[in-house]
Amino acid sequence: MLTVGDKFPSFRLDAVKGGREGLGGPGKSFTEITETSDPGQWKIVFFWPKDFTFICPTEIAAFGKLAQEFADRDAVIYGVSTDSEFVHLNWRVYNDDIRDLPFPMLADVRRELSDALGILDKEAGVALRATFIVDPDGTIQWASANGLNVGRNPQEVLRVLDALQTDELCPCNWEKGKPTLDPAALFEAA
């Protein structure tokens, strides 16, 4: 699995647009997303195994509820699975929890991005529940992966983004607005 310090791979994927635009129907609902989309932004790229499942919509909806928080931090969210853009659209139409999803759902049907990242489950052939925080230069600054049966915590992704954006030393459980560590002050106190 690619990790901190690695360049996020190049990609070109079809996607269902976020928001109401994504419900415009075939020909109006789709767009193409690449690694150069949204220049100058941090990117939160998270993967789920399959559409029309049980854990996945809980995570996707939770990221959707935090979308404005991420946007306030100059970050865009890309949700990705190995399902097609048509399956994504159908799922959005029929699932109340993700119908108004404010970010695009990318279709990695050839599994090229999942494979390049090293996050394909060896037995199921679908993406693990992997999450990447990518800085505006395209470098991975945080990577995490859960197995297929355990959901992740989008609030933790937001907390880590906050910490990364301070460019300071952040202690365990640090939260935005709390003091960071000052090594010089720690040595003076000793």
- Annotated active-site positions, please? 56
d(CA 128, CA 119): 6
* Other residues' Cβ atoms within 10 Å of the Cβ of residue 12: 12
Strand partners, 75: 42
The answer to whether residues 13 and 107 touch, using CB atoms and an 8 Å cutoff, is: yes
Integer-rounded Cα Rg, in Å, for the chain is 17
Spell out where 27-135 has E strands.
Answer: 30-34, 42-47, 75-81, 105-107, 129-134
- Strands 30-34 and 129-134, by their bridges, are unpaired
